[in-house]
Structure 1
């Protein structure tokens, strides 16, 4: 449970620093269907995925040291 709590704290910090990805996704899904906003979906998806993977890597690294 301690590892999960540590992951949530680290994930929260990565979303604070990388909030652009989720913002892009919210704007994409909240706007009217527009083909010119397709880049916003892919950029938001990439940034959000990178945030999650970074948080997982930091959590693994910090639990290995403990």
Structure 2
């Protein structure tokens, strides 16, 4: 259930930042049929799909059992400093 809540948080964040996709889709479907508005449908579809895929990617990359990459980098740097004797008073 925690993963689903994390996904919903990322999805909400993506729709706040990428609201232009759903706006294009609403604009396309709310306006009278016009061949000039095909771009709004396709761009809205691609932006909305990208928002969903980014939210799924962010959810899968931030699991409870995974440590962030920056922590791994900081620990490796600290071990290297200790091994070389750097940073000792």
TM class by shorter chain equals over 0.9
Deviations 1:27-56 (A, max 9, x none): 100000000000000000000000000000
Higher relative contact order (CA 8 A, sep 6+): 1
Q: Which structure is larger by alpha-carbon Rg, 1 or 2?
A: 2
Structure 1 runs (4+) deviating above 3 angstroms are none
Higher fraction of helix: 1
Q: Return the TM-score normalized by structure 1.
A: 0.96
Q: Return the TM-score normalized by structure 2.
A: 0.72
Specify every segment of 5 or more residues in structure 2 that has no aligned partner in the other structure, as ranges: 68-89
Q: Give the total of aligned pairs.
A: 66
